[in-house]
Amino acid sequence: MRILMIGSALTVNGGIQRYIQNLLGSMDLARYEVDLLATHAPQGVPSGEDALRVAGVKHIYWMPGNDKQRLFFYPGFFRQHKNYDIVHFHTTSKVNALACGVIRHACPGAKLIVHSHIVYPPMTLSWQIAHRFYQHWADYFLGCSVAAGRFVFGDHIDEKPNFAVACNAVDKGRFHPDAAARADIRARYGVADTDKLAGFVGRYNHQKNLLYLLDIFAAMHAAAPSWKLLLVGGGEDKPAVDGKIAALGLGDVVIQAGVQDNVPAYMNAFDLFLLPSEFEGSPVTLVEAQGCGVPCLASTNVPADGSVTGLVEFLPLSASFETWADTARRIADCGVHQSRWDKLEAAGYELCAAARRMEALYDALVPGASGPAPKKENAS
């Protein structure tokens, strides 16, 4: 079976690309030949290209970074790259509703799956128009959460038989409580056993609300000077983050680690994971933190679908910083991290099982195209 997956910027800290990398790393790419169409990682930002090639993705193609420019790019691309059985299109955009029509005409023989990764209120008339285009052109709809599906495809999409939730599943072999990794990271950054360490992993952008997070942390540190903060990631808001840290006088207690590829070790170092986002679809980092047994404090703008372990609490962004600080102190005092994988697996967040579900969907949409498993030849 030939599949084209259309993603976003090929960074190691982008949520959609991490989902794609996790999924493809667990699929049987001998039976499902998956090509990837993406945009280059920005200059200076680590790319996930090597990891995807190691996973078995043979062909990675590049497209413009602007959604509108891609409308003119797709016809030429599909003239050169034909005969896909499935196009799996990851989307966070209204413009991509029009792109679905372009892809449908350019690649008429393929089943088109559109996969929503965002909730970005308020709902507008232009989004409502986009719902109609998406539903007219696509064959199947996926959402990283029910809320993400409803926002991008329409309020009642989850009542249709051609919709499913595709959890942002993670690898339990990597994301689990690890006392040695915790000790190593804390020692590396000078975090004592008596210190409390709050953490964040992700893009420095408007969505993740890093400036607000720093205000929360300032209140936490004022109430309890043993708090430190470790930020893992990078992005366009870094100059503003640097300025805010200086303005709040937090330079001695806020650590910026940059983009890292050993995220499980950093998650284990945290006593609390902070995610006061302006909007989200269903953040994979929230599942990763729970996999490592880390308490989480998120804004109510984060859909509750991913809260399945009892480790997550939510507060509105309208709550006072003192309320955030009090809640942070209370939920972080829970002792040694304990595994919650029994609950995560039951809720569908185990990566290998999620990959098998995606393969089953592909097989149902294009019966017989994947063929029998290839025979292994004897080693000579």
**Amino acid 371: pLDDT:** 59
Residue the block writes with tokens 């794609």: 20
Judgement on whether residues 144 and 197 belong to the same structural domain of the protein: no
Judgement on whether residues 202 and 220 belong to the same structural domain of the protein: yes
Average pLDDT value for residue range 291-310:
95
Residue type, 168: N
The contacts of residue 375 (CB under 8 Å, 6+ apart) are none
Handedness of CA 122, 308, 271, 235 (dihedral sign): negative
Residue the block writes with tokens 């000790």: 183
Round the average pLDDT of the chain to a whole number and report it.
93
Asked whether residue 379 is domain-assigned, the answer is no
Judgement on whether residues 154 and 283 belong to the same structural domain of the protein: no
- Note whether 29 and 69 are within 8 A (CB): no
Judgement on whether residues 44 and 164 belong to the same structural domain of the protein: yes
Residue 376 has pLDDT above 80, yes or no: no
- Residue 1: CB atoms within 10 A of its CB come to 18
Task: Compute and round to an integer the Cα radius of gyration of the chain.
Answer: 21
Average pLDDT value for residue range 131-154:
96
Which of 21-30, 80-89, 366-375 shows the lowest mean pLDDT across its residues? 366-375
Average pLDDT value for residue range 176-190:
98
The contacts of residue 27 (CB under 8 Å, 6+ apart) are 34, 355, 358, 359
Judgement on whether residues 133 and 191 belong to the same structural domain of the protein: no
Judgement on whether residues 185 and 304 belong to the same structural domain of the protein: yes
**Amino acid 315: pLDDT:** 98
Residue 216 has pLDDT above 70, yes or no: yes
Percent of the chain with pLDDT over 70: 97
**Amino acid 380: pLDDT:** 27
Judgement on whether residues 221 and 95 belong to the same structural domain of the protein: no
- Note whether 35 and 61 are within 8 A (CB): yes
Judgement on whether residues 81 and 142 belong to the same structural domain of the protein: yes
The contacts of residue 367 (CB under 8 Å, 6+ apart) are none
For the chain, how many structural domains are there in total? 2
Asked whether residue 376 is domain-assigned, the answer is no
- Note whether 340 and 290 are within 8 A (CB): yes
Structural domain that includes position 63:
2-169+350-365
Judgement on whether residues 275 and 139 belong to the same structural domain of the protein: no
- Answer with the residue of higher pLDDT: 82 or 251: 251
Between the alpha carbon of residue 137 and those of residues 112, 132, 134, 235, 361, the distances in Å are 8, 9, 6, 34, 18
pTM for this prediction: 0.88
Judgement on whether residues 97 and 122 belong to the same structural domain of the protein: yes
**Amino acid 375: pLDDT:** 43
Residue type, 213: L
Q: Smallest Cα–Cα separation from 151: which of 226, 93, 219, 90?
A: 93
**Amino acid 324: pLDDT:** 98
Judgement on whether residues 113 and 220 belong to the same structural domain of the protein: no
CATH number of the structural domain spanning residue 263:
3.40.50.2000
Between the alpha carbon of residue 363 and those of residues 82, 157, 268, 357, 359, the distances in Å are 19, 22, 37, 10, 6
105 vs 43: CA distance, rounded Å: 34
Which 8-state DSSP code applies to residue 305? G
Asked whether residue 135 is domain-assigned, the answer is yes
H-state helical runs in 138-273? 146-153, 179-188, 210-223, 238-248, 263-269
Judgement on whether residues 16 and 156 belong to the same structural domain of the protein: yes
Confidence category of residue 347, pLDDT binned at 50, 70, 90: very high
Residue type, 21: Q
- Residue 355: CB atoms within 10 A of its CB come to 19
Asked whether residue 380 is domain-assigned, the answer is no
Asked whether residue 225 is domain-assigned, the answer is yes
pLDDT in tens, 353-366: 999 999 999 999 99
Confidence category of residue 55, pLDDT binned at 50, 70, 90: confident
192 vs 189: CA distance, rounded Å: 9
Asked whether residue 377 is domain-assigned, the answer is no
Confidence category of residue 377, pLDDT binned at 50, 70, 90: very low
Asked whether residue 70 is domain-assigned, the answer is yes
Confidence category of residue 41, pLDDT binned at 50, 70, 90: confident
Average pLDDT value for residue range 230-240:
95
Asked whether residue 220 is domain-assigned, the answer is yes
